[in-house]
Amino acid sequence: MTTKKKQSNPLYVVRNNGVDVESASGIIDLLLKKTGLDRMIIVLENLLNILLSQVNSYPMFMEVKKLYDSLFEKLIDLMFQAQNMMNSLQAKKST
């Protein structure tokens, strides 16, 4: 029998003035849920899957690849900005 170890300090997201409470699996999940982007990720994923299903030639593949590359570049930039913000918040807390 395997038992799942409970997290000692779970993260929660409170929405709708305290009506809805959801657990978050990590910092990224917390940020996505807190900003409401978790719902947009599903829409974006479906849109990219539709685009990928339309690929039937190499030029079309290259256009979809450009779209994916620009999207991931923006996501990586956003992650670096979030990390810098978290670091600056931690530095303020420690002072």
pLDDT tens-place values along the chain, 95 residues long: 555 655 566 778 887 777 888 888 887 788 788 877 888 888 888 988 898 898 999 999 999 899 889 988 988 888 788 778 878 877 877 76
* Burial grade of 92 (CB within 10 A; 0-12, 13-18, 19 or more): exposed
**Structure confidence at residue 4 (pLDDT):** 60
Phi/psi at 27 (5° precision):
-65, -45
Residue 22: strand pairing partners: 13
**What letter would DSSP give residue 16?**
T
Q: Looking at the whole model, is its pTM more than 0.75?
A: no
